[in-house]
Every structure is written in structure tokens, then in C-alpha cells.
Structure 1
Amino acid sequence: MLVVSLAVLFVNFVLGQLHPSTFAKYPSLPSLREQAKILDEWRDERVSHIPALLKKYNIDAWLMSQREHAEDTIWWSIKNATEYAPHRRTVLLFHTNTSSLSGKPNPLRWVDNTGAVWSELREVLEVFDPYRLAINIDKDIAFGGGLHAGELYVLADELGDKWMRRSVNQPMLGIEYVAARVPSQLPYYRDLQEITWALIEEAFSAKVIKPGVTTTEDVEWWYREKMLLLNVTTWNHPRVSVITPESFPGWAGTKDTIQEGDLLHVDFGITAMGLNTDVQHMAYVLRTSKGEEDAPTGLKAGLRKANRMQNILLSKMQAGKTGNQVLQEVLDQMEQEGIEGQVYSHPIGDWGHAAGAVMGFTNLPVYVPVLGELPILPNTYYSIELYAYSFVPERNETLRFRVEENAYWVDEQRGWEFVRGRQERFHLINSDRKASSPLVIQT
């Protein structure tokens, strides 16, 4: 018990006071031309680890086949930065750099619409003679099941029984490849996180919101227009809500006119440089007509409870544990501490919902089949997404305090850290301030 208590104290100390001390800015990203060069370098570094990944899972070669509009899921993580589709039919064969293929390009690549690829591929397979040939046909995991049905039929026809009998399903190849991060990505990912925070701080301000006039949908579309000006896009439409005991809109915001005293919530992320963010923050609309200068104490207590849940989750996320193991440990700790809430955290990176183990879904709060049984991988990014229930005396109601921040794996000693801190104070919307005034965040 002493060891557990010390661990909890350590986590509280390390993960406390993480709200950034300065307002977010809009950092400039490299030019699109420079971004393409950087993305290709990241891709090359990731691809260089595929031979070792094949050996780890006792796979001799990994075959992918796709056409334009029928791409393998993995295609988007292995393509050149300036490619927007696989032309004609694109066939890739990753190998282990051994035997007859030593020194050959990895992957071997064919772009063809004449059928010539198949005779050449058969010749390569005959010489290389792989015993276990991985193809992406997993029925449960998208990152291991991206081979379209039509392409599977073509492979069966063109490769014949000999090679199809040697074909195997190993979804961990796609999962580990997509999940693995490149160290040089982190500075740019920090910039993306700062842009995300800057968008939130500006949206949740008097510059954008006028109580009694502005709607939650107005704010959502402000995000979309602003992102275009910043040359970034998004992987989901921003969802802005007024938090009430009943509101938990999931994949949609609420359709409310924002009023003084409202507790607001946003869930969105941006996409740039092949990476995605996913963040949830809350804001409070001050009752300036009544002289209010800060959020009620009960709301602050609810946010602290959600922060505590984040601490617990990060302390339990050890590489090698399954997502369900971590989830159960978190739920057990929450019960010990008298915290009610729900965890639904997921990997993030190449996709907003990326490859790897999940810890809960909103509709599967205690156990997730398949994806929850995957192992937690190090050297990756995670969205620490959850909510805490908390009773707010000033409102005589229990609310969900919904938070989400992106974390990254540092090393065995330090474990996980947030990419740009986390929200520990409400964004305060003061309608008495002019639009040109600085944004206000409570201290």
C-alpha cells in the first residue's frame, strides 16, 4: 500500500500544474514543399524498420495490392507525400532483406494496368520462396484488413494455390507500423497542439461569442473557416456543446444559443503534416451582467476530478498491458477514490483514431472486444479522453466534465507526458471585454 501511495503522489506531482502559463499562438508550419520533404523522410525512416518488424512476427514478406479508389488502409502511411492515390494498380512487396532479395529495393513496387505485374511478382516469389506471406485480410482490425475483396480475388487468380496457401493474416504488422512514431515528428506535433489550443482560446472568447446571440453552430463554423486561413484541415467537424445533465451528444454538438452562465465544451482536432490532434476543452461564460469574475467553485472541482482521472490513466498505461487491463486498473482505482466517470481513450497519429489498443468506448465502458485486447505500444501517441461526473452545488446538478489531451511516450523512466500540457483551468468568456482585448483564462 505504501508503494501504491507513493506512486500516486509521484504521478500527482509530475502531472499537476500542467496548464500552459502563456496563451497559445499560431506557429507557422513549413511551406508545403518543405513539408513534403519532411514527410518523405519520416516515411523512409518508418519503412526502414519493416524488415525487423517482419522478423518479429516470423513473416517472410508482406504483400499489398491496391487500385485508385480501392486503397489499402496502410497505403496512406507508406505513400510519397505528393501522391494522392495509387495509380492504376500499385503492388508492394516488403521483404526482410535476406537471401535473393538482399540489396533490392524495399519494398519492391509495381505500377501497372496491363497485368504484367503478376508474372514479374510470381518470378520474384519463386526466387525468394517466402514461407509466410502476409496479406491484409483481418476481419476485425482496419489496419490489418485493408485488402479490398476484388484485389483478393485477383491475387487468388494470379498467384495460384501455391502462394495463397502460404498467405497469412498478421494484423500486428499494420498496427505496429502505423503506431510507431519518428522522434523528429515531436517538435512539429507540438506546433499542431499549440495551433489547436490557440483555436480554442480564440473561439472561447468575446471575439467570437456574444451571449444571447452566438449559437454553438456559429462557433463550429468559425473553427472551420479559421482552419482554412491557417492552411490546416480537420478529420472531424468541430462539435461545440452547452453542457447540461442531459447533454452528451456524441458525434454532434448541441444547437443552442449561448447564454451567460453556460458551461461550454468543444471536441475537435486539426490535420497537418500527416498528423492529427484530438482535444476536448471546456469554457465558462461569465455572468458579467451580475459582476461575476470567475467560474463557480463547483465547476472547478469537477475539472480537477477529470484531471485526476487523467493522472490515474497515464500511471496505468504500461507497454505490454492490454487496453482492457489498463481500463480495469483505472476503474478499480477510481472506485477506491470514489470517482465516477468513464474512460474512452485511443491512439492518435496518422489518423485521428489511429492504430493500437483502445481503453474503453462510450458504449463499451468496461471491456472492448478485439481492440481492447491489443497491447499498449510505446513510442506512440495517445488521446487521453474521458469524463468525470461531479455534483455542482451552485447549480444543484451533476455534470459530465469532459476532457481530452494528446500524450506521447517519452521513455521507460518518464513514461507518458502531454504534448502541450492539459486544461486545468476553464477558458473564461467575458462579454464585457472588447473583441480586441486579450483572451481571459482564470488564474
Structure 2
Amino acid sequence: MMSCWTRFSLLVYVFSLVAWAYQDGPYTYRPLPPLREQARIQDGWLKERLSRIPSLLKKHEVDFWLMSQREHAEDTIWWSIKNATDYDAHRRTVLLFHTNESSLRGHPNPLKWVDNTGQVWNELVQVLEDFEPRYFHIAINIDEDIAFGGGLHVGELHAMMPSLGPWAHRIKNIPMLGIEYVSTKVDGQLEYYRQMQDIVWMMMKEGFSHTIIHPGVTTTEDLGWFFREKMLLLNVTTWNHPRISVLTEESFPGWSGTEDVIQQGDLLHIDWGITAMGLNTDTQHMAYVLRDGETEAPESLKQGLAKANRMQDIHLETMRAGMTGNEVLEKCLAQMQIEDIEGQIYSHPIGDWGHDAGAVIGFTNMPTHVPVLGELTILPNTYYSIELYAYHFVPERNETIRFRIEENVYWDREVGRWTFVKGRQENFYLVGNPKETLLKVQKEEYL
């Protein structure tokens, strides 16, 4: 007779063989640099980005760009002009960007005050008076419609205006200053943005596998929290909670995901992004949970994904810098109609923020035209999330399902078009099922 310890050891051995035989990995992650090195790299990017501001001011015919914020009430632009080791603004932080001309030549850009006494306004006015203005305009962020041009808090506006004296009538609202500054990327960012995409894809490969998903047991919420925990281990964070859904005809859960126990035959969807080094990703992929005896997804599901891929092609073939978001949307929808594809496009800029500065191309609640943000022109040297879905009828389910995908692209100057940062999903992740006979471990023999 085997001892209890021997029987236990055999069980552990057999289960380890099963796990090895059905492993989808290895899940090899290429980590980002240590945090200290990340901060050094980010501050290098920042220096390059800030150096462009004087020419941006001249382009929009202003002498100054004035920002004021208090701790916990920062201007939207603050998060794109701060050092990597800064978090909240300290006390009241006032920044004055200028064109480096006249008596301010050689001075820091921006000029910066950290103050909680009100003395800053006297010093600010003195600087303005010493400057020889070309355009007699000061840009401040007070736009009513665009977040990246409207980040000045009303309390700061009320504190600032009486203190500006005769300069108060020279303020000007120029939302494109913030939009152009935030949306324009520097060349060095792409290498690390691509590395972040590698991490995202590897996490999805691991998450959408039988090592994490156990049909009949694992829920969509369980899977979402797996991704959150995994982020901590990889030293990245997120700008939205991973939203996992079981796709059906009725499901279009948006920001909430669904609350389902994952079953064999389910079509799974994730919408999420990670944050690191001042950059954000946004990705939507799909997975299929194999039924017993299946080795691939049904053909009808493959057709739905292919249709969504075709929409991506149309989008990238159409989208060009200088077009408005609405122009791109209109042309895409027209081509989809020609090809008898029904679906919706709701793409957006991405980078410093998950939903970044710039022209949007459709909204879920505005499928054909977007006021204000859709009328902005698409800028080059930036990143976009190509976000959309295609309707496709699945006869085995007697359902028309939205096949939802999203990938990040960048402007590739060498070829003159938008290019996927990592690639795109053209095949489903397949969640396999270990054979039940192996899992039984011949109970009667060993126990």
C-alpha cells in the first residue's frame, strides 16, 4: 500500500503534468525600465516638448500662455507640463510661457511662481510690463467646450483678473494651444509606447487562457480583477478598470462590463488600457471559450471579426491629417454603405490621456456627426485609438452581435500614413479546456 505522502506526491506530479501539457504560455513579459530611469526618460521628453511652446505661441499670435492652479485643482494642461516626479501642484503654482524675446531672452520658460500669499500677481504684472509685446495677447485656458483649452478653475480666474490690471483686457481664449501641445508626440516616445502595447497583448494572452479562466466558475469580474492585480506586478497602472463582457445581441455594456459566469461557447470582450511613463493605451480584443471537442472558433464568429477588421482598413485608408473628424467619419460611413457593412466608428486621440486632445471621429451617441470636437482638424505626429464595431449575424445563436475592436495607431512619417503601434487582432484568443479524464487523476487508483 502507498503511504499518504506518496499518494499526495503522485497527485501533485500528475496535476503538474496536466498544467504543463495545456499551458498556453510561456507568458514572457518585457518590463519597462526601472522607475528612476523612466523618470529620466520622461523628463527628456518633457524638455523637448516644452521647447516647442514659443513657436506654438507665435503660430497663434500670442506673447504669453498663462496658467494658474492650486493644489488638487490643477489645470488640465498641468499633467502634460509637470516633471515626472511632480504630482499635485504645490500651493498656488503660476506658470508663464513666453516667446523668449526682448528683456526676457535667456529667462526660464516657463517662468514659475509657487506662492500662497498673493504676492505672485504683483510680480507677474511687473514681468508683463517689462516685456515688449508683439501681439498684445495673453492666452489663458477658459474655453467652454474643450477640456484641454478650458482647465483654468473659475476660482483662479476670479483671483487673477482683478490683479492683472490693464493686462486683463488682453487675455485671449485659444483652445488649439493646449490641443496642439498635448497631442504632438516626440519621436522617443514610440519605442516605449510599443513596449507598453507588448505588455497589454501579453496580459490578454495570459488572461484569456484556461490557466486563468475556468468555465462555469470564473466570472467576468474575476477576470477584470486578474488584470488589475497583474498590472501591479508589472509596475504599470490604468486609467480605467478592465471591463470584461460576454457578448450577446443585447450586450453593449459601455463603461460597466457585464457580470456573468463565463461558460463554454461564450464570446468574451475586453475594453481597457494601461498607464506608464506618462502614456496611456486603449485596447479592445475578443476571445472565444472553446466547447468540448472544438479546436477553433466557429466560422461565423471569424467572419464577424473579419468584418470589423475591414472597417479598420477603411478608417486608416480614409484618415489624413488636415481633415476634420467629421469629414473622416462621413467618408468612412459612405464606404461602409458601399460595401454593405453596418457598424459604428467612435475613434479618439490617445497618449497623455486615454481620451486625449484632438479631433474625435464619432461618438457612440453621435454616430454621424459630432459638434465642436468633431469639427477639429486631425493633427499629425500624434496617436489615435481606432475604435469601432461591426454588426454581424451569427446563425448558430440567431443573434446579431457587435464585434468590438480597438487598436492604437501612430503617424508614420516615413510612409505617410497611420500605422498600428503593435498590430491588430485578426484571430480570437482561444480559451482551451483540459481533458476531464486527466483531471480525474484516476482517483480510485491513487486514493
Pair 1:261-2:273 in alignment: no
1:61 aligns with 2:64: yes
Task: State the shift of 1:381 in Å.
Answer: 0.4
Equivalent of 1:156 in 156, 161, 172: 161
Deviation digits for residues 86-124 of structure 1 (CA, Å, limit 9, x no counterpart) = 111111111111122121111111111122211111111
Q: What does residue 46 of structure 2 align with?
A: 43
For residue 237 of structure 1, give the secondary structure of its aligned residue in structure 2.
strand
Do structure 1's residue 172 and structure 2's residue 176 form an aligned pair? yes
Superposition pairs of residues 1-80 of structure 1, within 5 angstroms: 25-80=28-83
The answer to whether structure 1 residue 249 and structure 2 residue 253 are counterparts is: yes
Are 1:111 and 2:114 counterparts?
yes
Structure 2: unaligned runs, 5 residues or longer: 1-24, 437-447
Distance 1:112 1:274 in 2: 26
CA contact (8 A) 2:67 2:95 kept: yes
**Would the aligned equivalents of 1:280 and 1:402 in 2 still touch at CA under 8 Å?**
yes
CA 383–23 in structure 1, closer or farther in 2 if over 3 Å, else same: farther
TM-fit CA distance, 1:414 = 3.3
**Which residue among 375, 386, 389 is the counterpart of 2:388?**
386
Cα deviation for residue 24 of structure 1 reads: 7.0
Residue identity over aligned pairs, in percent, reads 69
2:355 counterpart residue number: 353
Which secondary structure state, in structure 1, belongs to the residue aligned with residue 76 of structure 2?
Answer: coil
Distance 1:412 1:141 in 2: 31
SS in 2 for 1:64: strand
User: How far did residue 413 of structure 1 move?
Assistant: 3.3
How far does residue 395 in structure 1 lie from its aligned partner after superposition? 2.2
Matches of residues 301-316 of structure 1 in structure 2 within 5 Å?
A: 301-316=303-318
Give the paired residue count: 410
User: Equivalent of 2:241, from 218, 237, 240?
Assistant: 237
* Partner-residue secondary structure (3-state), 1:235: strand
* Residue of structure 2 in register with 1:299 after alignment: 301
RMSD: 1.3
Residue 139 of structure 2 is aligned to residue 137 of structure 1: no
Task: Report the Cα offset of residue 128 of structure 1.
Answer: 1.0
Q: Which runs of 4+ in 1 moved over 3 A?
A: 22-25
Tell whether the 8 Å contact from 1:206 to 1:433 is kept in structure 2 after alignment: no
Cα deviation 1:358-397 (Å, max 9, x = unaligned): 0001101000111101100000000000000011223222
Q: Indicate conservation of the 8 Å contact 2:103/2:132, yes or no.
A: no
Aligned mate of 2:92, from 74, 78, 89: 89
Distance 2:78 2:161 in 1: 21
1:147 aligns with 2:120: no
CA distance 1:322–1:25, change in 2 (3 Å):
farther
Q: How much does 1:412 deviate?
A: 6.5
Is the partner of 1:207 in helix, strand or coil? coil
Letter in 2 for 1:71: E
Query: What does residue 14 of structure 1 align with?
Result: none
Letter in 1 for 2:34: S
Conserved in 2, the CA contact under 8 Å of 1:23 and 1:198? no
Q: Which amino acid aligns with 2:32?
A: L
Q: Which residue of 2 aligns with 1:18?
A: none
Counterpart CA distance in 2 for 1:154 and 1:214 is 54
**TM-score, with normalisation over the residues of structure 2?**
0.90
Distance 2:397 2:93 in 1: 60
8 Å Cα contact 1:321-1:375 kept in structure 2: yes
Q: Give the residue type in structure 1 aligned to 2:151.
A: G
Structure-2 residue corresponding to 1:364: 366
Among candidates 218, 222, 230, match of residue 226 of structure 1? 230
Tell me the amino acid that sits aligned with residue 166 of structure 1.
Answer: R
Encode CA deviations 1:138-167: one digit per residue, 9 max, x unaligned: 00000000000010001112112x211100
Give the Cα–Cα distance (whole angstroms) in 2 for the partners of residues 425 and 25 of structure 1: 20
* 2:310 partner amino acid: R
Query: In structure 2, the residue corresponding to 1:236 is in which secondary structure?
Result: strand
- Considering only CA atoms, is the larger Rg found in Structure 1 or Structure 2? 2
